[in-house]
Amino acid sequence: MRRPLLVLAILIAAPVLAADWPQFRGPNRDGHAGDEKLLATWPKSGPKLLWTFSESGVGYAGPAILGDKLFLAGGRGDDEILFALDLTANPPKELWSAKIGPLFTWKGNSWNAGTNVSPTTDGERVYVLGGFGDLLCVEASTGKELWRKNLPRDLGGAVNPIGGGLEDPTPLGWGYSAAPLLDGDKLICVPGGKKGLVASLDKKTGKLLWQSADATDEASYASPVLAEIGGVKQIVAVTNKGLLGVAAADGKALWRYERPYEDVAISTPIVRGGMILASVGFNEGCDLIKVEGAGGRFTVTKVHANKDLQNRDGGLILAGGLVFGHSEKGGWTCQDFASGQVKWSDPGIGRGVVSFADGKLYCVSEKGGTVALVEPSAEGWTEAGRFKLPRESKLRKPSGGLWTHPAISGGRLFIRDQELLHCYDVKR
C-alpha cells in the first residue's frame, strides 16, 4: 500500500533519547522512565486524559515509545499484529500494521490470548515476539518485514509449561513472554530448550550468532537483563531452575544459582552491580545473590532469602536502596534491598503493576482500574493522587487482569488494558 510522503517524514528513524520508552520496562529494563518534570501530585480527578485508543486487540504487551511514535502488539481476530501509532494526532492515527503470526490461545485457557511481549526498538527497526514464538523484525518507518524466525522451529525453543494446564496442546504453557533485548548490533532472545536457553541474533539480518549450548533450561516468563559483572558483559535470566548468567560475547554459561520454582516465574530480576534480586509469587518469595568474578571465573553467594516479598507479575522497583512492589503475602511491600528487612506492607490498591518516574511510583490495580501515584518512602504507603480508568476492557479473559506495566514517556502516562490504550498528560 502506498503511503503519503508526509507520513514517511513523520516516521524518519530517530535515536533513542532519555525520555523514550523503547522496550519492556523502559530504557534500562528496570521500570524507571527517563522522564523528568512530571506532576508531583495529581488533582482529585486525576491527570488529564488525552485520548483512549480502542483497537489495540487482546494481549498483555506494553508499548515501545520513541518520541511521537508508539509501537504495540495485540491480537485482532485470528492474528497477532504489530502496529505503529502517530502520537502527534489526537486521537492517534494508525500508520501501519504487520502480521506477527497466529493468535496464541488454546481451548480451556481463561487467562490470556494474543501477545504477552512488548516490542523493542532501536529507532530504525522494531522487534516483536508472538505467543507461539514468531520473532519478527520490521522497518520502523513503514512496517516492512525485514526478517523473521520461529523460536520453536528454528532454534528448538521450549517454554516451561508449568501451570499451563492439561488442556494446553502447544506445549508452550502460557506462550512466549520474555521480551527481546538489544545489545549493540545483537538481538538477544530466550527460545529455551535443548539447543540453548538464550540466543543471540544479528539484529539486521536475524542470523544466529550463538545459542547457549551449556545452558539449556526451558524458557520462563521472565525477561532477561544485561549486566556487567567481574568485567564480563552477560545476560542474566530467571528460569524455573533458578538464576543464571551467560556471556554476551558467545553464550557461554558463567554461573548458576540453583533455586527451583514450583510455579511460573514472571518478574524481571533486579541487578545492581553483582547483586541480583529475583522474586516469584505463589509462596516462593525472593532471593538476593551476590555474583563475583575474576579472570572469567565466577562465584555465587546467597545474601538473603525470604517469603515476605512474593512478586507474581507486577514487577519490582529499586529506588534509594529500597525495593517496592506487590507481594502475594502482605500486599504492596517496601523491602530493604541489601538486608531483606521489610519496612512496611499495605493493601494499597490491591495486586497490580508498577513503574517509576521522576521520584514517584506509578501503580495500577489489576482489577477495577485504579491508578495511584505513590511516594517511594520507607515510612509507608503514601499517595500523591489516585484515579480510575474511564472504562475497563470487555475482551479480557475472565481469569485475567490488567497486567500490562504502565509506560511513561514525553510527559505522558500510557496504560493498556487489552484493546484499550489510555494516554494521560502527567507533565508539569
- CATH number of the domain residue 198 falls in: 2.130.10.10
| Burial 232-252, CB ≥16 within 10 A → b, else e | bebbbbbbbbbbbbbbbeebb
What mean pLDDT value characterizes the chain? 94
Residue 380 binned pLDDT confidence (cut-offs 50, 70, 90): very high
Q: Which residue type sits at 327?
A: S
Q: How many structural domains does the chain have?
A: 1
Task: Determine if residue 356 is left, alpha or beta; phi over 0 gives left, psi from -120 to 50 gives alpha, anything else beta.
Answer: beta
| 124: its cell numbers | 530504525
Instruction: Summarize pLDDT for 161-218 with one digit per residue, the tens.
Output: 987 766 677 789 999 999 999 999 999 999 999 999 999 999 999 999 999 999 999 9
Supply the range of the domain harboring residue 92.
5-23+30-425
Sheet of strand 253-258, all strands in order from the earlier edge strand to the far edge: 225-229, 232-239, 242-247, 253-258
Q: Alpha-carbon distance 53 to 420, whole Å?
A: 6
For 326, 367, 369, 381, 421, the CA distances from 350, given in Å and listed in that order, are 8, 8, 10, 12, 21
Looking at the predicted structure, is the pLDDT value of residue 159 above 70? yes
Positive/negative CA dihedral, 207, 212, 216, 222:
negative
Q: Are 419 and 389 in contact (CB under 8 A)?
A: no
Mapped onto helix, strand or coil, the DSSP state of residue 145 is: strand
The per-residue pLDDT for 63 is 98
pLDDT value at residue 32: 98
Asked if pLDDT for residue 7 goes beyond 80, the answer is: no
Q: Is 283 left (phi over 0), alpha (psi -120 to 50) or beta?
A: left
Per-residue pLDDT of 234-280, as tens digits, reads 999 999 999 999 999 999 999 999 999 999 999 999 999 999 999 99
When pLDDT is averaged across residues 89-115 and rounded to a whole number, the result is: 95
Across the range 308-320, mean pLDDT stands at 97
- pLDDT of 128 over the 80 cut: yes
Share of the chain above pLDDT 90, in %: 92
The confidence score (pLDDT) of residue 14 equals 54
- Give the tens place of pLDDT for each residue, 46-58: 999 999 999 999 9
Range 397-404 average pLDDT: 97
